[in-house]
Structure 1
Amino acid sequence: MEFSWGSGQESRRLLLSLLFLAAWKAGSGQVHYSVPEEAKRGTFVGRIAQDLGLELAELVPRLFRLASKGHGDLLEVNLQDGILFVNSRIDREELCGRSAECSIHLEVIVDRPLQVFHVEVEVKDINDNPPLFPGTQKNLFMAESRPINSRIPLEGASDADIRANAMLTYTLSPNEYFSLDKPSEDERVKHLGLMLRKPLDREQSPELHLLLTATDRGKPELTGTVQLLIKVLDANDNAPAFDKTLYAVKLPENVPHGTLVMKLNASDLDEGSNADIIYSFSTDILPNVESKFYLDPITGEIMVKGYIDFEESKSYEILVEGIDKGQPPLSGHCTVMVEVEDTNDNVPVMEFKSLSLPVREDAPLGTVIALISVSDRDSGANGQVTCSLTPQVPFKLVSTFKNYYSLVLDSALDRESVANYALVVTARDGGSPSLSATASVSVEVADVNDNAPAFAQPEYTVFVKENNPPGCHIFTVSARDADAQENALVSYSLVERARVGERALSSYVSVHAESGKVYALQPLDHEELELLQFQVSARDAGVPPLGSNVTLQVFVLDENDNAPALLPLRARGGGGALSEPVSRAVGAGHVVAKVRAVDADSGYNAWLSYELQPAAGGARSPFRVALYTGEISTTRALDEADAPRQRLLVLVKDHGEPALTATATVLLSLVESGQAPRPSSRVLAGGAGAGAGAGAALVDVNVYLIVAICAVSSLLVLTLLLSTALRCSAPPSEGACGPGKPTLVCSSAVGSWSYSQQRRQRVCSGEGPPKADLMAFSPSVPDSRDIEDLQSATGDSLSKPRQPNPDWRYSASLRAGMHSSVHLEEAGILRAGPGGPDQQWPTVSSATPEPEAGEVSPPVGAGVNSNSWTFKYGPGNPKQSGPEPKKQTQVSFLLRRKEAFQSRQ
């Protein structure tokens, strides 16, 4: 473009190719452009997107926006091509006044992520303002007696442009009386003056008309003119004269009304009324000066009458003239320059340009949370603002640009520790005293799923009685999640990693997903399932979800829900109650038969006792039944008075609450001694008698079994002896009676023999010499004194059965082994005949935790555990040995969970 001059308002077009439109960057990412004032709408300013390094496709998604204080409509950005262009008329004089530098400060803000750019657009001045005089005509009164070379001040023209466009030169129309006096070198005295070069003669020329022209140095040049009308007067030869042509004074801002600025003094060499001076503001004074100051016409005192604000105007130029009262009046002129001094009277102003809330607790360090703009209208140190942050929080303020601060994350956040931060930003200037402003910001921390649900303990033990109703509530698991909202919403489920037998875990129990309640879906049977171990998972609803597991050990407690079951034997001659021959020659205490029964329950619920029901008619029977063994023996010698057929009714009862019973009927036939066969025990179940059939067939079986047991026992004894010899040959620290738990198995008064799978365990009995893992003693019959000594030594541990220890565990497979034990007894393997050591299968025992009391297993039938088994020969439970004159023996099976056994070791 190029300039073109026309008529009228001298419209102009500026050649844009002559201006610098290229942007440049300097410190802190600031970009500079320049544009001439009065440029037409749509004028190209710069490729702002390219210069800021932004992609055109990112402008709209990243919310590209332009901000400018008070000048937001002057410039605009085309989001399609990223070009900054003029949007409306730009008048540099209106925008910046007479300031030498004039720029439009733009803030370019883009989000995602947040970025702020600062753009300075310099407005170039063009010569669009001609010089202007205060008026089109100026009237001057001048005495004809005025001396040659006297100076008459004139008000110069003003040009709203700057630099060369505002530099004026003056010319005066040709005349013979006056010449033009140019401004002095003091820039503060810019007024023109007329110099009288020839004496005036009112009679010859009462009025003089001159034309004063002001021309600037712009291209093209612009001019302004004023008509000077000089009227020549008579008399009053001396004009008032001030002490100084220029007065300079400093005045603090905010001074109260009536404050004296200064007092002027002018003198007149005339006398009388020609020497009386009246002070007044010049007619060329600016309106804002006259509104701020008052001039006393008599005293010449200048006082403050308005609000003096440094931020409004930094200086005032007061034109004063002194006029005498002569005829015609003469005047003198002076200039008062009032410089306003700044005081710290403006509080800093803060403005949040951008605020990104809430902040995720996993936000990286350096994340920008807010952009803060600060400003202070004061100058110098009074306008220098610094920001601080309180209290001590994981955030900090970073100065990103002049008067801009970023609130950024300084350390890691944890919503579970602090969910909200109340920040106070303080802006303080450098004045004395300093002024400050505060702004509060509440920073909320957004939760992320960084905490898994946690149970109070890793494992729970639950005890449930068997035969529970289906769907009953047995336990409630609860996990706590430290997160919030859906991240803390916990749901529960079963972890089906293993099956329970051949059935799925979900067929036994279920877990409510919300409450964590565990329900038993079907009645549990202690005889089928003693321990149900499974895991429950807790998962939150976060993304991704987090979870943890807890183990539940559900022990099914036994109830007395199984009545004693009598074990049937083959009956001689078929079914029905048959007679068992008993020789009348037997003495007191002879065992004639035995009732055997088992109970599917465990513990005291399976502890059986036998009672002989009274005979009909109240007759006293010559037989009795052992309380805990079921052996039927004679109480006295039989005689001829006893009935040849004896019908015995045996009541078998367990120790449950309530107790369950079964009855057995035993028929005995008393015969002479020559007619009686070899004695043998018979068991009758449900009223059926047990005969002595197939006795011959059992003899052969007994022989083979005895031979097999002897062979196995010999090998076992030999192995243990070799092992003991090797151990004894070891160093003393590994002796057979070395330190350790002293008693896993200890012998009783009548002897015992035991086997243990713990190969390296040392076993000692009391304080005697070391014993090997296999210990065999010949059973002997203790007398009453031995029994009393044994009872006194063991105390209540033997006289009273103990509550079964929770570590005892039994399985259905153990009870199934009872049948094999019955056949062993029928074969006579463990029976030595009348009066000999008779091995009885146990129906009761007591578990004791004290090592010194030995270990006795509770009644579990005749099964053998795969982990360890123990045979014990002894007098049995003292509770059943009182009335028994005959020696009793017991075989007890030590059954326990492998884990419990190892823990006791």
Structure 2
Amino acid sequence: MAFFRRCRRLILQALFVTVFHLLGLAVGQIRYSVREELNHGAYVGNVANDLGLDLRQLASRGFRITSENRKQYFDVNLGNGILFVNEKIDREALCELRATCFLNLGVVIGNPVEVHNIEIEIIDINDNTPRFPRNDYYWEISESAVPGARFPLESAQDPDVGTNSIQTYKLSTNDHFTLDLKTFNENSKLIEIVLKKALDREQKALHQLILTAVDGGSPARSGTAQISVRVMDTNDNSPVFDKSTYKVSLLENASLGTMVIKLNATDPDEGSNGEVVYSFSSYTPEKVRQLFHINPNTGEIRVNGSVDYEEASSYEIYIQATDKGPVSMAGHCKVLVDIIDVNDNAPEVVVTSLYTPVLPENAQAETIIALVSVTDNDSGLNKQVSLKIPPNLPFKLNSYKNSYTLVTDGHLDRERVPSYNITLTATDAGTPSLSSQKTIQVDISDVNDNAPQFEKSSYAVYVTENNTPGVSLCTVKAYDPDTKENSFVSYTLLGGEIQGLSVTSYISIKSDNGDIYAMNSFDYEKLREFQPKQPNPDWRYSASMRAGMQSAVHLDESGVLRGGPGGPEQQWPTVSSATLEPEAGEVSPPVGAGVNSNSWTFKYGPGNPKQPVPPIPPDFPDNFIIPGSPAIISIRQDQQASQGSKGNFITFGKKEETKKRKKKKKQGSKNQEKKEKGNSATDNSDQ
């Protein structure tokens, strides 16, 4: 019969495990049940199957089990994904007298990072025998004790829980005593031996009783204590407390000397037989004796040490009241002290894993940076903790119970913010609340997301003809806000031809510093200017990011634009104040105009010694280009206009307008051709 009951229990346990498997998977958490005291290697569950993991990738992805306990009670076989018992579990040592016992495990997998939770219930087995605080008790009872007299006795203790704990007591068969049980809570009973028949010392001076405590395990376990009753004369009344059990509450921060309770026991005897002395009974643990003090005369119990809820949430104090009769008698009671938690523990932030202390600035959203747990040793609202990070950061926290993952949540730009100090602040819900902080430094690594930029968009270079080959023309400079190899800039000339020859036949550039050199000696009469140009704006390299620029090289015989001998001489315009005199004869951009400015003033008149008076000699250049500007400035002479007239000898146009004039010149008369004659110019505004 016992065999069938056991089989039935095993079947129910198997169904219990299966239900919790399904329930755990449904809510995103795996739950298993396992009995305590199993040997190493005992099967718990198949984690790989339950999480839907590929067995072949467990090792390569760094599959591991994390636990909040120091001991590694469980482990996983990476070959088959089975969770097994790694170390024998003593439920009573792990969870003491709590009705339920759970262990929380974490499953951490990398590449990509995944975090799962496993909750394992430790099922109690009947592995402890009930035990009394003493094996032998010696009582002295007066023969005058009347039937119905009660004699309290300390109960036995069994660290097992549920049906495996103590279920009943039995007293050996006798004529004078019987057993009366009063239950106070689930695992605590006050035992009283009741005198059912008057004692007669002359008939029997010593009575031997056996008290047995029996638990509800299968098979049941039991423990015994022997009670020796010696019958005495005279003092026939023992002190009696107002209650057999007192229940009080005490704040954990109670100061020394705080009164817990004042007990009162009375003895109807007279004289010394009725005088009561209070003391701790033998069952009161030494730790409790250190925390509390009882006044032997008044029965006041006061705080005598530091009471800490996190160390113990309740205490049981066993008190006896003894009279001063020649054969003293004692009454017993129990004081249950519930400790009330106060918010005296700040939450603790623990970074369990820091995966990416250095993030690339192009990291994807939800990239896991760290695993964080928060604990608080208080209870109730004092234990409820929230974790936050400062606002306006490209990061956020994902939470599960008291575990968090710190992940990315926004665009990162190393050039704007190269690193972050992320302060994690944990705050409990107590009044007043307590908080603590933990700072994680996350450095942002560079990616090549910035193209080099030149200091100028165009460069104008002037060189005297018949220059020495190899002479330095100018230096171009570009910078890149990226770092290391991403910021290294190399300079190259773009492809192109000038008068049928490659541009590299005329100039060269040093790739490391941007110095531009003349490859040959230039002849002003053959080549007056040329331009290396940049590519179109949508041009890109696949290997790196680069910037384009353009430069114009102008040649003249002495570094200036000239006409012929004795002809007009015009210095190349510089940024200077435009004169207001009509005879000034200058070409200059307005103050503040850059290389791309097309706002130029040309004033021509006899007052400038560098400028001739009309008529303009035939070899005076009739048009020229301002570097960096799309404008073509043409000079003409209108014989009908006076010398001081403005605007009759200079026009601004573009490449398209010049083409139109050429087309018109072929169709018109020679006089009209002379008036609208214009030389073609190079458009250097492609960028």
TM-score normalised by structure 2 residue count: 0.81
Closer, same or farther: CA 114–183 of 1 in aligned 2, 3 Å? same
In structure 2, C-alpha distance between the alignment counterparts of 1:806 and 1:849, rounded to whole Å? 18
In structure 1, C-alpha distance between the alignment counterparts of 2:679 and 2:645, rounded to whole Å? 15
Letter in 2 for 1:230: V
The 5 A counterparts of 1:160-559 are: 160-184=159-183, 190-355=189-354, 356-399=356-399, 401-496=400-495, 498-535=496-533, 544-559=543-558
Q: Secondary structure at the match of 2:532?
A: strand
Letter in 2 for 1:244: K
Q: Secondary structure at the match of 1:494?
A: coil
Letter in 1 for 2:557: D
In structure 2, C-alpha distance between the alignment counterparts of 1:31 and 1:186, rounded to whole Å? 33
Q: Secondary structure at the match of 2:311?
A: coil
The CA deviation at 1:126 is 0.8
The 5 A counterparts of 1:468-867 are: 468-496=467-495, 498-535=496-533, 544-559=543-558, 603-604=562-563, 606-607=564-565, 797-798=612-613, 807-808=623-624, 851-852=647-648
The CA deviation at 1:850 is 5.2
The CA deviation at 1:95 is 0.8
Cα deviation, 1:412-471, whole Å, max 9, x if unaligned, reads 222222222222221100000000111122222222212111224433222222122221
Letter in 2 for 1:346: N
Cα deviation, 1:4-62, whole Å, max 9, x if unaligned, reads xxxxxxxxxx9799645543425652100111111111011110111112111221222
Q: Secondary structure at the match of 1:491?
A: coil
Q: Which one has the bigger strand percentage? A: 2
Q: Secondary structure at the match of 2:398?
A: strand
The 5 A counterparts of 1:881-892 are: none
Q: Contact 2:184 / 2:190 at 8 angstroms: preserved in 1?
A: no
Closer, same or farther: CA 36–543 of 1 in aligned 2, 3 Å? farther
The 5 A counterparts of 1:35-54 are: 35-54=34-53
Q: Contact 1:104 / 1:120 at 8 angstroms: preserved in 2?
A: yes
Match of 1:739 in 2: none
In structure 2, C-alpha distance between the alignment counterparts of 1:391 and 1:897, rounded to whole Å? 64
Letter in 1 for 2:255: P
The answer for unaligned runs of 5 or more in structure 2 is 4-8, 572-604, 626-642, 652-660
Match of 1:77 in 2: 76
Q: Contact 1:449 / 1:544 at 8 angstroms: preserved in 2?
A: no
Cα deviation, 1:605-649, whole Å, max 9, x if unaligned, reads x3279xxxxxxxxxxxxxxxxxxxxxxxxxxxxxxxxxxxxxxxx
In structure 1, C-alpha distance between the alignment counterparts of 2:620 and 2:290, rounded to whole Å? 110
In structure 1, C-alpha distance between the alignment counterparts of 2:60 and 2:684, rounded to whole Å? 69
The 5 A counterparts of 1:130-169 are: 130-169=129-168
Closer, same or farther: CA 805–210 of 1 in aligned 2, 3 Å? farther
The answer for unaligned runs of 5 or more in structure 1 is 4-13, 561-600, 610-653, 658-789, 810-846, 856-864, 874-890
The CA deviation at 1:410 is 2.3
Letter in 1 for 2:372: I
In structure 2, C-alpha distance between the alignment counterparts of 1:439 and 1:482, rounded to whole Å? 32
Cα deviation, 1:827-882, whole Å, max 9, x if unaligned, reads xxxxxxxxxxxxxxxxxxxx999543699xxxxxxxxx989799999xxxxxxxxx
Note the aligned Cα RMSD (angstroms). Answer: 3.7
In structure 2, C-alpha distance between the alignment counterparts of 1:45 and 1:143, rounded to whole Å? 60
The CA deviation at 1:327 is 1.5
Letter in 2 for 1:452: A
**Percent identity at matched positions?**
39
Match of 2:655 in 1: none
In structure 2, C-alpha distance between the alignment counterparts of 1:429 and 1:363, rounded to whole Å? 32
Closer, same or farther: CA 305–898 of 1 in aligned 2, 3 Å? same
The CA deviation at 1:333 is 1.2
Q: Contact 1:808 / 1:896 at 8 angstroms: preserved in 2?
A: no
Closer, same or farther: CA 193–534 of 1 in aligned 2, 3 Å? same
The CA deviation at 1:520 is 0.9
The CA deviation at 1:358 is 1.8
When structure 1 is superposed on structure 2, of 337-346 and 179-188 the one drifting more is 179-188
The CA deviation at 1:263 is 1.4
Cα deviation, 1:165-208, whole Å, max 9, x if unaligned, reads 10322111111111111224665861211111111122221111
Closer, same or farther: CA 249–17 of 1 in aligned 2, 3 Å? closer
The CA deviation at 1:329 is 0.3
Match of 2:111 in 1: 112
In structure 2, C-alpha distance between the alignment counterparts of 1:186 and 1:656, rounded to whole Å? 113
Closer, same or farther: CA 655–350 of 1 in aligned 2, 3 Å? closer
Closer, same or farther: CA 159–43 of 1 in aligned 2, 3 Å? same
Q: Secondary structure at the match of 1:359?
A: strand
Letter in 1 for 2:562: G
The CA deviation at 1:336 is 1.1
In structure 2, C-alpha distance between the alignment counterparts of 1:901 and 1:510, rounded to whole Å? 23
Cα deviation, 1:794-822, whole Å, max 9, x if unaligned, reads x975279799569449xxxxxxxxxxxxx
In structure 2, C-alpha distance between the alignment counterparts of 1:504 and 1:532, rounded to whole Å? 12
Closer, same or farther: CA 318–453 of 1 in aligned 2, 3 Å? same
Structure number with larger C-alpha Rg: 1
In structure 2, C-alpha distance between the alignment counterparts of 1:18 and 1:276, rounded to whole Å? 57
Structure 2 residue 120 is the aligned partner of structure 1 residue 121: yes
